[in-house]
Amino acid sequence: MKEYLFSYGTLQKEKIQIQLFGRKLAGVPDTLQGYKIAVIEIKDLSFLSKGEDKFQKTLVPSHSNNDLIKGTALELTTEEISLADKYEPANYKRIKVKLESGKEAWVYIAALAT
């Protein structure tokens, strides 16, 4: 089954997609309203052991439609979403959002965000 994952950072990189999913993902530019980018410190040692930076971009709700995040709506299978869950650091969570295009997509945001 096809799912969408909205990426605004690392998962847009072809190198990461091939390492994680074994292929380059199809995707189209899209926008998410009502969120802002924040930088958080990653303490998940398994994530950091992959050579990722200690400080990563994440999204936090702003509750303002004036705040827009540009990114890519990536097409993944349900199984690939599970792989992405294992890749992302522990202090991220996955939620369902509606993108400007009307697509429903998963997105990773700061776990502290509600």
pLDDT(95) > 60: yes
Q: Which tens digit of pLDDT belongs to each residue from 10-52?
A: 899 999 999 999 999 999 999 999 999 887 666 655 555 555 5
> Which of 75, 69, 61 lies closest to 26, judged by CA?
75
Pairing label, strands 35-41, 55-61: antiparallel
pTM for the predicted model, two decimal places? 0.82
Q: How far apart are CA 24 and CA 93, in angstroms?
A: 23
Which of residues 48 and 9 earns the better pLDDT score? 9
**Domains (range + CATH), the chain:** 2-110 (3.10.490.10)
Query: Listing from the earlier edge strand, what are the strands of the sheet with 68-77?
Result: 27-33, 68-77, 2-7, 104-110, 92-98
Mean pLDDT of 72-81: 96
